[in-house]
Amino acid sequence: MKRVLITGGAGFIGSHLCERLLNEGNDVICLDNYFTGSKKNIVHLLSHPYFELARHDVTQSYYAEVDEIYNLACPASPIHYQYNPIKTVKTSVMGAINMLGLAKRIRAKILQASTSEVYGDPAVHPQPESYWGNVNPIGKRSCYDEGKRCAETLFMDYHIQNKVRIKIARIFNTYGPNMHPNDGRVVSNFIVQALKNADISVYGDGNQTRSFQYVDDLVEGMIRMMDTPDAFTGPVNLGNTNEFRIIDLARLIIKMTGSNSKIIHEALPQNDPIQRKPDISLAQKELNGWSPEIELEDGLEKTIAYFRSIIK
């Protein structure tokens, strides 16, 4: 049995990770300040004897004896991370420093939930880990992008300077049950709008692309990444390589929900990347042949069922 700390454990991805690691017989501490996460996502785990909750903010130091730390604490959707950009930077940077300091002190292994946003609006397509990115340092998305880039720097420096065992996973657009219905991300927005027969808000002409990964595939990749030999630190891309135009996602969701919604076009947000698709050859090589297995329609079906169950 491993003792595992998951920061941001009450959020969308964190809640799936908590459940999976508990089911595999581990002792799990879920740390969260509930900014974007919710107890609803983990309430079904509360009676588990090896599950603990810690209401805590990662910008403050924290101490617990654990073997592994997954550092997920950070708002992930544009409307939430732009709500208080200074706090977003603090969460990424001070959170990384606090968790890396803890990992150093207790000799734990630590995995950082980094992001495809470190590539910004990429000039290289698909994006391999060797690409350094195209990021605006002073735009609306910068608090998130640069915060996450600085966190990667800190992870590498703690590894080189203090021999901390680190893992960096660059997560590409992920969706599934437990996403916040109002967090503004495209999959949750479109499903909620379609279920309410409301207009579907496509930003810009909808020709921008994303590659959508179902959360179970991501969780599998993160756990495999944590289990790689110490010499492998990453960064490693974790994402699905099937690329879709946003307008096609809107049409697919309307069809799958049987909705009467109409597509409308709204302004494209500042610095919205035009295209995004991971090169996952490194993950396939280093993570025991890991590859996303869940097709978009199958994942959307489970996600639509989840939103149907929570929307009145």
What part of residues 113-172 is at the interface with ligand NAD (CB under 6 A)?
113, 115, 171
CA nearest neighbour of 225 among 243, 239, 246: 239
For ligand NAD, the closer of residues 95 and 221 by Cβ is 95
CB atoms inside a 10 Å sphere around CB 55: 11
What part of residues 81-110 is at the interface with ligand NAD (CB under 6 A)?
91, 95
Q: Which partner from the list ligand UDP, ligand NAD, none does 299 bind, CB cut-off 5 to 8 Å by kind?
A: none
Strands (E), the chain: 3-7, 27-32, 51-55, 68-71, 109-115, 166-171, 174-175, 200-203, 209-211, 213-214, 236-238, 243-245, 263-266
Backbone angles phi, psi at 174, to 5 degrees: -125, 145
DSSP run (H or E) holding 76: none
Q: Is 71 one of the binding residues for ligand UDP (CB under 6 A)?
A: no
CA nearest neighbour of 311 among 181, 200, 185: 181
CB atoms inside a 10 Å sphere around CB 305: 10
- What gap in Å lies between CA 72 and CA 198, rounded to an integer? 32
- What gap in Å lies between CA 238 and CA 168, rounded to an integer? 10
307, two tokens: 């939103």
Which range binds ligand UDP by CB under 6 A, 37-45, 48-56, 201-209, 230-238? 201-209
CB 62 → ligand UDP: shortest distance, Å? 28
CB 200 → ligand UDP: shortest distance, Å? 8
Q: Which partner from the list ligand UDP, ligand NAD, none does 246 bind, CB cut-off 5 to 8 Å by kind?
A: ligand UDP
For ligand UDP, the closer of residues 167 and 276 by Cβ is 276
CB 8 → ligand NAD: shortest distance, Å? 3
50 a catalytic residue: no
Q: Is 269 one of the binding residues for ligand UDP (CB under 6 A)?
A: yes
Chain contacts with ligand NAD (rule: CB under 6 A): 7-8, 10-14, 32-37, 57-59, 72-76, 91, 95, 113, 115, 171, 173-174
Chain contacts with ligand UDP (rule: CB under 6 A): 77-78, 173, 185-186, 189, 201-203, 208, 210, 246, 268-269, 272
Active-site positions? 144
